[in-house]
Structure 1
Amino acid sequence: MLKDLKISVIGPGAMGEAIIGGLLRRELVSSEQMLVSHPREERRRDLQARYGVGVSDDNVGAARWGQVVIITVKPQMLKKILPPLRGTMAPGDLVISVVAGATISSFAEALGHPAVARSMPNTPAQIGEGMTVWTAADAVDAQQRGWARTVLSALGHELFVDNETYLDMSTALNGTGPAYFFLMMEAMIDAGVHMGLSRRIAEELVLQTMLGTVRYAQQSGLHPAQLRNAVTSPGGTTSAALSELERGGMRTVLADAIWAAYRRSVELGKQG
């Protein structure tokens, strides 16, 4: 679907590089089809050496060159990045935003270009195991939606939603979600070390337990409460542990954290 299509990536940080690497690794495009724009020469040299893509420090030129223009900057940078790009896209071009909180309308108005898709990937995208939620403006036609779906699939799993408000909600789950799991991993590993395990053993136990648990949940198709009940024997070790977690308000704290992430995503969109 992306054959002979020219793709520009503006502001490639970790997520932008994940898109570049994913597209090339899956052989969805060739390096000659990609142009990367970044202000730092060191970063440009690194990306060119690693992936063989074209590089530039000219965002306007990159936007004009690409038929699919992927913008992967920090939300705070949009007021600087977008205005110079206004009027640079041809009618058939597609803009894909990978910017937390930034609305489709803010992109379309700033660029003077209605064909905008908005996405929210997460950190595992860097190894092709991401979860990306995305949506598109009404002006994005079927072919352009196919381009967006194919590009975002290079990051792992992709899920289209037809309501843009779901993007801020998903930011609080899949976008910010890895940090919740990293914190849980860290706490479990530290507890294991405190009990007397070596850090190496504790890390291996925790990481494989988490990985296996997720895969088991995916394959079982059961509700998490059913899975939890199945491993909780009356008066056993799991029951004792879960009692402490509930007493400590784990559900409430986690829910509050997710709501805080959602509110911040909305705030970032308003600032943009």
Structure 2
Amino acid sequence: MSKIRGLLSQKVVKANQIIASDPLESPRIKMQDMYNVHTTSNNVEAVQGASIVVLGVKPQVLGMVSSVLKSQIHPTALVLSIVAGASVSFLQKALNHARIVRAIPNLPAQVGMGTTVWMAIPEVTDEERIKVKAILQSLGEEIAVQSENYINMATGLSGAGPGFVFLFIEAMIDAGVKIGFSRVEAQKLTLQTIAGSVELMHQSSEHPAVLRNKVTSPGGATSAGIYELEKRGMRTAICDAVYAAFQRTQELAELNQLPELE
């Protein structure tokens, strides 16, 4: 639903141009009430006459959904898949459809601050690429890549990244409580510190090491804290976490290939 909100708020499409499909009645009612879009529980009905089909289902139900949609999407329509781990070749076989764009948005897309890495196969026209770009920009930043391997890499970095950031935020808040702040105060201080630091880096365009050195006085409080983080391997732990997420994405991609489609 957050993606519908982004599309409408950025005026990429109008409400009467959207047909949303969901098997559950309560989400359909909510989408109708919030966005005044047409909804259905029938996936085939949802794709009839569509020029762009956004495929956004859980990987574990992709086999069932694709079996229903196979050969049902008009050949000239574009399929924009945001299904984690589902390769272009798999989608082409599963849907019996050639025109595929694969994209991986991350969680902050819910508030229009996401990062989406995407790729289009050669069959996708320049006009369609412009439309895809507009759709993804309604969710935040977008980066077009040429190789599908970058999609898995992005899943490990920007896809899993919010989870790492939230863990860091949680630890900072807990530390604030430990030294005497209320949890509300600690959360406010932590969130503003992180948001301000990110905005400063955006505006200054300086390397993070340069900005870190500016706040790290010799023998000071920041220096003492950074020493502890480095001593305990924070930098290595983050690198290992991203790489582990990347490797797991590759494993899941292999698991998501249905044998009967090979």
TM range (shorter): over 0.9
Q: After the TM superposition, which residues 251-262 of structure 1 pair with which residues of structure 2 at under 5 Å, given as runs?
A: 251-262=235-246
- In the other structure, the counterpart of 2:32 is 48
Q: Which residue of 1 aligns with 2:260?
A: none
Q: Tell me the equivalent position of 2:234.
A: 250
CA contact (8 A) 1:108 1:114 kept: yes
In the aligned structure 2, how far is the partner of 1:189 from the partner of 1:111?
Answer: 46
Cα deviations across residues 111-157 of structure 1 (Å, max 9, x unaligned)? 11111101111111111111111111111111111121111111011
C-alpha deviation, 1:259, in angstroms:
1.0
- Which residue of the partner structure matches residue 181 of structure 1? 165
Instruction: Pick the aligned partner of 1:76 from 60, 71, 90.
Output: 60
**Residue-by-residue CA offset, 1:8-50 (whole Å, 9 max, x unaligned):** xxxxxxxxx1211111111221111000010001111111111
Partner residue, 1:222: 206
Cα shift readout 1:42-93 (whole Å, capped 9, x = no counterpart): 1111111111100101111212232100011111111111122111122220
**Which residue in 2 is equivalent to 1:29?**
13
Report matched runs for 1:1-272 at 5 Å: 17-272=1-256
- Secondary structure at the residue paired with 2:98? coil
Give how far 1:174 is off: 1.0
Task: Report the alpha carbon displacement of residue 254 of structure 1 after superposing the two structures with TM.
Answer: 1.0
* Equivalence for 1:10: none
Classify the secondary structure of the residue corresponding to 1:65. coil
Contact 1:37 1:62 in 2 (8 A): yes
Gaps of 5+ in 2: 257-262
Distance in 2 separating the partners of 1:102 and 1:244 = 41
Distance 2:47 2:232 in 1: 51
Amino acid at match of 1:83: S
Distance 2:76 2:134 in 1: 17
Q: Find the aligned partners of 1:65 and 1:37 in 2 and give their Cα distance.
A: 14
SS at match of 1:135: strand
Distance 1:100 1:253 in 2: 24
CA distance in 1 between counterparts of 2:56 and 2:76 reads 21
- Percent of aligned positions that are identical: 44
Q: Which runs of 4+ in 1 moved over 3 A?
A: none
TM-score, with structure 1 as normaliser:
0.92
For the residues of structure 1 that align with 2:11 and 2:95, how far apart are their CA atoms? 30
Q: 2:49–2:74: 8 Å Cα contact kept in structure 1?
A: no
Instruction: Say if 1:75 and 1:268, in contact at 8 Å, map to a contact too.
Output: no
| Number of equivalences | 256
1-structure distance, mates of 2:253, 2:32: 32
After TM superposition, give the deviation of residue 237 of structure 1 in Å.
0.7
What is the one-letter code of the residue matched to 1:221?
S
Structure 1 CA distance, aligned partners of 2:97 and 2:200?
Answer: 44
After TM superposition, give the deviation of residue 253 of structure 1 in Å. Answer: 1.1
| Bigger Cα displacement from structure 2, 105-114 vs 32-41 | 105-114
TM-score, normalising length from structure 2? 0.95
- Worse-matched range after superposition: 89-98 or 208-217: 89-98
